[in-house]
Amino acid sequence: MSEETKQDLADRRGMETKVYQPAEDSGLLAAAVEARGRGRFLEVGTGSGWVAEQAAREVDAVTDVVASDLSPHACRAARRRALGDRGGDTEASGQSATGDRDAPVFDVVRGNLVEPFADGAFDTVAFNPPYLPTDPENEWDDWMEQALSGGESGRELVDPFLDTVGRVLAPDGVVLLLVSSLTGYDAVIDRAEACGFAHEVVVEESYPFELLSVVALTQTESDP
Q: What is the per-residue pLDDT for 24?
A: 82
Question: Tell me: the pLDDT tens digits for 171-209?
Answer: 999 999 999 888 889 999 999 999 999 999 999 999 887
Q: Which amino acid is at 140?
A: W
128 assigned to some structural domain: yes
pLDDT band for position 156 (50/70/90)? confident
Nearest in space to 158 (alpha carbons), one of 182, 123, 122, 124 = 182
Residue-range definition of the domain harbouring residue 144 = 3-219
From CA 131, how far away is CA 224, in angstroms rounded?
29
Is 183 or 82 the better-scoring residue by pLDDT? 82
Does 47 reside within a domain?
A: yes
Q: Tell me how many domains the chain contains.
A: 1
Residue 224 lies in a domain: no
Where residue 9 sits, what CATH number does that domain have?
3.40.50.150
**36 or 131, higher pLDDT:** 36
Report yes or no on 37 lying in a domain: yes
pLDDT of residue 36: 96
pLDDT of residue 187: 92
The verdict on residue 204 lying in a domain is: yes
Query: Taking the complete model, does pTM exceed 0.85, yes or no?
Result: no
What is the predicted pLDDT for the residue at 2?
46
State the average pLDDT over residues 71-88. Answer: 81
Establish if 48 belongs to a structural domain: yes
User: Are 127 and 46 within 8 A, CB to CB?
Assistant: no
Q: Which of 158, 196, 164 is nearest to 177 (CA)?
A: 158
Alpha-carbon distance 94 to 215, whole Å? 29
Q: What is the per-residue pLDDT for 181?
A: 87
CA–CA dist 47, 77 (Å, integer): 8
